Amino acid sequence: MCDPVSIGLGAVSAVGGVMQAQGQHNAQQAAVNRQNQIAQQQYQQQLRIAEDKDRAKKKAHTAELQAHAQAQNELRKQYEVNQRESNRALAVANQKKSERETKVAFEMQAAVAQSIKAQGQLLSTGGTGQSFLLQSEQNQRELGFATAQLQQSLMDSDKVFGLEREGIKMDHYSRDAAAYSNLPAGPQARQAEYIPYKPIKRQGPSKMALMGAMIGSVAGGASTGIQSAGAIKEDKIFGAGYTKKYYG
């Protein structure tokens, strides 16, 4: 029959081992839970940061689109201003050409009138002969020279007008090109932030390992009880204060 003291010692050892195994298991499980909680909090924080960045990018992109639309409106207005300026310059050039042509026309009329007057004066003299013929031809030559001069003046006026018109076109093109070069490039959509990887949940300590540790603790407690029982039996046999080794 087992000694009550031995049984008590074995039970205490078994209970202590079981409590220790359970405590270690709980501590390991708490540590794993804490790590999972921290990982989840970090994941949620990364998600919020990515969402904030996406909102900021969207807001900035919207502002860029509005600014680009405004710049396009300004460009169209500048094109209209450039066109009006070109029309004004062409109108001025046309007016100058018309004035030159009018001047030439008056000068032509004056030359013809002068020639007719000279011819009339010549005829009023009643002269004849070679001298009269020469004077009449001279009058015609002078009218011809004046006419050729005025015609050349008209041709020169046309050339000047052509050059002025080409210059106006070039100025118009240059102003349009300068206005277009100031137009900012069309905004591109921003790339969305990468979604962080969802953390993999860590697994806690195995319950089978806990059960194994508990079983080992119970077995260890039983072994301790048996050893204690053997020691007590030997003390009873050999007497108090003596050991088996002494009698051995």
The pLDDT, as a whole number, for residue 171 is 95
- 92 pLDDT band, cuts 50/70/90, is very high
DSSP annotation of 183 reads S
pLDDT tens digits for range 95-131: 988 888 888 888 888 777 777 776 666 666 655 556 6
- 248 pLDDT band, cuts 50/70/90, is very low
Query: Where do we find the tokens 């048996």?
Result: 226
| CA 192 to each of CA 44, 50, 61, 65, 151: distance values in angstroms, whole numbers, following the listed order | 17, 8, 12, 17, 74
Q: Would you report the helix, strand and coil content of the chain in percent, each value rounded to 5?
A: 85, 0, 15
Cα 127 to Cα 133: distance, rounded to the nearest angstrom? 9
Taking the alpha carbons of 72, 73, 79, 81 in that order, is the dihedral positive or negative? negative
What's the whole-number mean pLDDT along residues 178-197? 84
Query: Where do we find the tokens 């011819």?
Result: 119
Rg (CA), the chain: 60
Q: Is the pLDDT of residue 179 over 80?
A: yes
Which residue type, as a one-letter code, is found at position 235?
Answer: D
What's the whole-number mean pLDDT along residues 55-71? 90
| CA 69 to each of CA 73, 76, 79: distance values in angstroms, whole numbers, following the listed order | 6, 11, 15
pLDDT tens digits for range 126-172: 555 566 556 666 667 776 777 888 888 888 888 989 999 999 999 99
Contacts of 26 (CB under 8 A, 6+ apart): none
Contacts of 191 (CB under 8 A, 6+ apart): none
CA contacts within 13 A on the Cβ side of 136:
13
Query: Where do we find the tokens 């077995």?
Result: 219
Cα 181 to Cα 144: distance, rounded to the nearest angstrom? 55
DSSP annotation of 245 reads H
